Structure 1
Amino acid sequence: MNLAMLSGLTAFALYAVASLILYRQFRGQSAPSRMAILTHGGAAVAAHFVCLWQLMITPDGLQLGIFPVTSAVAAVGGALVLLSSLYRPFEWITALVYPFAAATLPAALWLKTGYTARPLEHGLGVHVLFSIVAYAVLALAACQAILLFIQHRQLKEGHIRGVMRLFPPIQVMESMLFEAIWLGEVLLTVAIISGFLYVDDLFAQHLVHKTVLTLASWVVFAVLLGGRYLRGWRGVTAVRFTLVGFAVLLVAFVGTQFVLQVILHEPPMVS
């Protein structure tokens, strides 16, 4: 068993243990143990990054196929949750992040696409790095929006029930949501600018659809942030904009890459 397989299976098992601990605590109507989440989650994320290093760093360049990159986004998301949990009650998001991160590992390890590893030239590494981190931050914002929607729905029905009673107040959840969106929008802006600087030919590199959809997602998040500042948008309006913006971004990467790499076997020059 090579190092990629060993570290990937280790990460999968640790994510599963952390998720099981979390769900058992939720089921018992008790707040999740931050130490348990940080310990098992931290070890899982570390093993995940070791696995990705083995899978993505090759003698021919970076392997930026859809499954390794999706797994990288999940790993970065897990790392961001761990860091955020040190100063904000962000550990609740692990209920969504850890199972997803675990699910990406088998795909990254065993599912192959037509993507061939290529060297990143002309500073494209900056674009790829910021893109992955931006996707991860905005994915966390989408997870936060889902939990916030559930809170609002229960509050509208008259009372907060079940595990949602353990979550932070709605005001705190909304504040954390907009913090994530602001950070994600800044990172996405850098990713878009670096993409325009370093990509030579959008048409030849099959990047037109991805670029247009990414810009559309950027606009959705910009409108939301503008509405928050100028009109005080919050609640369900913020949730809807967040989920729409992330859905467009998801189609921009996952949809485009899936069609090119899995269906057409025509991988773009960059991810």
Structure 2
Amino acid sequence: MVVAFLIASMAYILVSIYLGWALATDRPIHKWGTLSVLLIGMLAHAILLYPYIVTLYGLNFNLFNTLSLISLFFLLFYGLFCLYRPIVSLGILAAPTALIGVTIGYFGRAPYQPLTNVSMGLEAHIILSLAAYCVLLMAAVQALFLRLQIRELKQSTIHRFWVNKLPSLQSMEALLFDMIMVGFVLLSIALGLGLIYVQDLMAQHIAHKTVFSVLSWLLFGVLLVGNWRAGWRGKQAANITIYAFILLAVGFVGSKFVLELLL
């Protein structure tokens, strides 16, 4: 396990340093080399995380394991989006995030009752929920970057850090809605499976999580319809994305923090 942690950490650190150097010096970024090193780190990350989650006593989705898994999903989706969008420079955020996640998962410990006798439907609900949360987290971060770019363009200054260092505004906006669409579909399926396989919301202390998740899902749905029918974009789309994700985060991370660490 130590070897897997060191390999994953080293891969993420090397990519972070390389991308930071390339952006600081305006050098071209070698896309496939960057993604290849990240793939090595992701494989080591997955090997490290698997026995922490899949235990002899059941699935262990405690707070630290969950954060580590989310960071791995974060990097996975970043790589997939890189395949067809010119966004490799955004790895300057994805790689350090994965480094933080794998470190938290390796060193963090929280009391947790493993999930036993879990049906395949419930397992799918959990995994899809985490994947949806990850993609929508990426969308929220993307929305923040989009707002920074829009603000710099409106100020008409010659020092445009975010405009110069990040992909074009058009690419960033297109990527934002790609992320929202993928996250919305994953969250829709996860909520549907939850309604089928979760038996007692109150007894499992997830009623409030469900309420916040549904509110977030509705807000993301409104944004997608607004973009399709009324052309919502730019700062308006970024703001709605951030608000919708805050609702999801309050229900998801907030409940796990209270139940596992405070109570």
- TM beyond 0.5: yes
Flag as ranges the 4+ runs of structure 1 deviating above 3 A: none
Match of 1:98 among 95, 99, 123: 95
Match of 2:104 among 103, 107, 114: 107
1:157-176 equivalences in 2 (<5 Å): 157-159=155-157, 161-162=160-161, 164-176=163-175
1:84-163 equivalences in 2 (<5 Å): 84-122=81-119, 123-159=121-157, 161-162=160-161
Deviations 1:41-84 (A, max 9, x none): 11111111111112111111111101111111110110111122
> SS of 1:186's equivalent?
helix
How many residue pairs get matched? 261
Q: Distance in 2 between the 1:48 and 1:72 partners?
A: 9
Q: 1:232 to 1:163 in 2, by over 3 A?
A: closer
Specify the alignment match of 1:205 in structure 2: 204
Q: 1:50 to 1:23 in 2, by over 3 A?
A: same
TM-score normalised to the size of structure 1? 0.91
Root-mean-square deviation (CA, aligned residues, Å) is 1.5
1:41 paired with 2:38, answer: yes
TM-score normalised to the size of structure 2? 0.94
The answer on whether the counterparts of 1:55 and 1:68 sit within 8 Å (CA) in structure 2 is yes
> SS of 1:205's equivalent?
coil
Stretch moving more, 89-98 or 10-19:
89-98
What amino acid does structure 1 have at the position aligned with 2:93? L
Deviations 1:102-126 (A, max 9, x none): 1122221222112122225232111
Q: Distance in 2 between the 1:164 and 1:47 partners?
A: 34
The answer on whether the counterparts of 1:31 and 1:166 sit within 8 Å (CA) in structure 2 is no
1:195 paired with 2:167, answer: no
Q: CA deviation at 1:163?
A: 5.5
The answer on whether the counterparts of 1:96 and 1:143 sit within 8 Å (CA) in structure 2 is no
Unaligned runs of 5+ in 1: 265-271
Q: Distance in 2 between the 1:231 and 1:163 partners?
A: 27
The answer on whether the counterparts of 2:71 and 2:102 sit within 8 Å (CA) in structure 1 is no
Q: Distance in 2 between the 1:149 and 1:246 partners?
A: 15
